[in-house]
Chain A
Amino acid sequence: MTGPFPLPYNTLVVAGGMAAVGCAAGVVGCLGVLRRRSLAADAASHATLAGVALALAATGRRELPVLLAGGLLTAIGSLVVLVMLRRFTRTREDAATAIVLGVSFGLGITLLSGMTARGIPGSAGLEQFLLGQTAALTAADAMLLGCLSVAAVTLVWVGLKEVVLVAFDAPFAAASGWPVFAIDTALVALLAVMVVVGLPAAGAVLVTALLVIPPSAARQWTDRVATMLVLSGAFGLTAALVGVAISAAVPRLATGPVMVLAAAAIFAASFFLAPKRGVWARWRQQRELQQEWSRAGRDPTQAPTKAAGRSGP
């Protein structure tokens, strides 16, 4: 172990890469939350484990790009199964998602533990993909993940107009000629890629939290999509850095749970403190209104004039 300061090159690169991953997860996650695809992303993330195991079994190479490519394949496979289940059976959306999530995760765990038990070369330590462990990352891996994150954010920026239109009002988008299914497919594919990119840091079980918590926290502070994207990215970045730092300082502490807890702290703060939508702000608004009403007494012409809360004018 090296001392905390000055930080070695590898640690710095990993921290930078993970900051980019956290930021991108926050940004991409916004679109997933707005289009209500968070649960689909969760199913996809649990399915990555099987892909990681299969990639190792098929190639015998334990290189991050190989393993992640396998993870991406099974993630997309699970999404295809999800769509088919909904289309060709009468299974409801939440049940279908739970089925796909459970089955694919069970498959992944079985493969993983089976391969570890049989001592398949390279299978030791694969469980880092379960909960995430950034300490094991090389600088090259971190740089790859960072670059993919930048690409994901760029894609969000390019297709923002189309995705927001579909997320807000899909029938209107379809009626004015936009291919809603194709736009949805592209969005879900991007979510799957982001899940896989976040996999080494947060792990299959928790990576969805990085896609959902920062956007939900950001939503508390703003009524604009653009601001929400920026805030969510900043929250994700912060959570990722906190996770990397604490799990680096504490031996054998998985990164994913720390990242998620950091994100949850940001969410809790937003939930209580955000202006307008926060619990505290709403409580104060309510009280002000009550005071004005009681001052107005029983004369309805003296009713409070300030529009409070979510009521119309």
Chain B
Amino acid sequence: MSRPQPDSSPHCLEFHDVTVAYGRRPVLWNIDLTVDGPGLFGIIGPNGAGKSTLLKAALGLVPLAGGSVQFFGQPLRAVRTRVGYVPQRETVDWDFPVSVFDVVLMGTYARLGWFRRPGPRERELARDCLARVGLADVANRQIGRLSGGQQQRVFLARALAQQADLYFLDEPMAGVDARSQEQIFAVLSALRAAGKLIVVVHHDLRSASEWFDRVALVDMRLIATGPAAEVLTPENLQRTYAGPLDVLDELGRAVARRERTP
């Protein structure tokens, strides 16, 4: 039995009624969201809004209390190698005895499978990915001997080595110097140009509208989603960031100004 589908290709990423709870405390509530590539998609919201949790729920790192997530019309299991991931920088011990190159090589492990070691092809790929993030000259350095921005680019290079079609990045711009931000953004733009979908958890409202094509505003629930310029309105921001209002008004006005300027 085949249903006629209006669009032959399934969506890149679909959240159906996703609910996540830590114990009895709900973190995400009935998130319904469809994202299609190519493009840069921002998940925006205040601290503790569940942005990172949404990403981890999609990747199966936290259990769903309800709902489901589909990638390219399939469960994650079936398409793992098409999904790349850049976790938050603080999740690892940067004193670990591995070099920059070793870490990037880890991006090739999933395709290699059990017990097979990376060969010349994987090494070539890792070198290429390091060059793309501008870190070819520090390949042999221990990872702790890098700046925060460089560490973030190492993680990005590792994700590039996964050769995915859909990339998840968790706060890639947090604690990163301006030059690294530019470089990361350039790499993500190149991925978009290559037809990939990049989903980025981001907390900084000011840069959101210039970096992302589309965004989702999240604060436990999905507040709004769509093209960045349409979603990042003062009203929506106020609904999302229900904090000190004077600061928010100012931010909202700043975003509105940005929209008006060509």
Q: Is the CB of A165 within 8 A of B145?
A: no
Chain A residues near B92: list those with CB within 8 A.
168-169
Let me know if A223 is at the binding interface, CB within 8 A.
Answer: yes
Closest 8 CB pairs of A and B: A312-B147, A223-B142, A177-B80, A176-B110, A175-B85, A175-B59, A169-B92, A223-B97
Let me know if B205 is at the binding interface, CB within 8 A.
Answer: no
Let me know if A234 is at the binding interface, CB within 8 A.
Answer: no
Q: Which of A159, A165, A219, A228 contacts B115 (CB 8 A)?
A: A159
Let me know if A34 is at the binding interface, CB within 8 A.
Answer: yes
Q: From B118, which residue of chain A is reached at the shortest CB distance? A: A161
In the docked arrangement, what's the CA distance between A225 and B105, Å? Answer: 14
Q: Is the CB of B98 within 8 A of A164?
A: yes
Check A168/B87 contact, CB under 8 A, given A161-B115, A176-B109, A312-B150. no
Give chain A's interface residue range (CB within 8 Å of chain B).
20 to 34
Q: Is the CB of A162 within 8 A of B114?
A: yes
- B residues 64-107 touching A (CB-CB < 8 Å): 77, 80-81, 83, 85, 87, 91-93, 96-99, 102-103, 106
Q: Which of A159, A168, A310 contacts B106 (CB 8 A)?
A: A168
Chain A residues near B59: list those with CB within 8 A.
174-175
Check A310/B85 contact, CB under 8 A, given A161-B117, A165-B106. no
Let me know if A222 is at the binding interface, CB within 8 A.
Answer: yes
> 18 A–B contact pairs at CB < 8 A?
A158-B115, A161-B112, A162-B114, A162-B115, A167-B96, A168-B98, A168-B103, A169-B87, A174-B60, A175-B59, A175-B60, A177-B81, A219-B97, A223-B97, A223-B98, A225-B98, A310-B145, A312-B145
Chain A residues near B103: list those with CB within 8 A.
168
In the docked arrangement, what's the CA distance between A171 and B147, Å? Answer: 22
Q: From A174, which residue of chain B is reached at the shortest CB distance? A: B61
Chain B residues near A168: list those with CB within 8 A.
92-93, 96, 98, 103, 106
Q: A-side interface residues toward B, CB under 8 Å?
A: 34, 158-159, 161-162, 164-165, 167-169, 171-172, 174-178, 219, 222-225, 228, 307, 310-313
Q: Is the CB of B97 within 8 A of A228?
A: yes
Chain A residues near B142: list those with CB within 8 A.
223
- B residues 107-155 touching A (CB-CB < 8 Å): 109-110, 112, 114-115, 117, 138, 142, 144-147, 150
In the docked arrangement, what's the CA distance between A165 and B117, Å? Answer: 12
Chain B residues near A162: list those with CB within 8 A.
109, 114-115
Q: From A158, which residue of chain B is reached at the shortest CB distance? A: B115
Chain A residues near B150: list those with CB within 8 A.
312
Chain A residues near B168: list those with CB within 8 A.
175
Let me know if B225 is at the binding interface, CB within 8 A.
Answer: no
Chain A residues near B97: list those with CB within 8 A.
34, 219, 222-225, 228
Let me know if B162 is at the binding interface, CB within 8 A.
Answer: yes
Chain A residues near B138: list those with CB within 8 A.
313
- Nearest CB on A from B81, distance (A): 8
In the docked arrangement, what's the CA distance between A178 and B114, Å? Answer: 9
Q: From A312, which residue of chain B is reached at the shortest CB distance? A: B147
In the docked arrangement, what's the CA distance between A158 and B235, Å? Answer: 57
Beyond A175-B87, A225-B97, A312-B146, 5 extra complex contacts between A and B, CB < 8 Å: A172-B106, A176-B110, A223-B99, A224-B97, A224-B99
Chain B residues near A161: list those with CB within 8 A.
109, 112, 115, 117
Q: Is the CB of A178 within 8 A of B60?
A: no
Q: From B141, which residue of chain A is reached at the shortest CB distance? A: A223
Interface string of B178-217 (1 = CB under 8 A from A): 0000000000000000000000000000000000000000
Chain A residues near B110: list those with CB within 8 A.
176-178
In the docked arrangement, what's the CA distance between A4 and B69, Å? Answer: 71
Chain B residues near A164: list those with CB within 8 A.
98
Q: From A309, which residue of chain B is reached at the shortest CB distance? A: B145
Q: Is the CB of A176 within 8 A of B98?
A: no
Q: Which of B80, B102, B147, B158 contacts A313 (CB 8 A)?
A: B147
- Nearest CB on B from A215, distance (A): 10
- Nearest CB on A from B230, distance (A): 31
- B residues 223-251 touching A (CB-CB < 8 Å): none
In the docked arrangement, what's the CA distance between A219 and B142, Å? Answer: 12
Q: Is the CB of A34 within 8 A of B144?
A: no
- Nearest CB on B from A278, distance (A): 15
In the docked arrangement, what's the CA distance between A34 and B91, Å? Answer: 15
In the docked arrangement, what's the CA distance between A223 and B98, Å? Answer: 6
Chain A residues near B145: list those with CB within 8 A.
307, 310-312
In the docked arrangement, what's the CA distance between A34 and B95, Å? Answer: 10
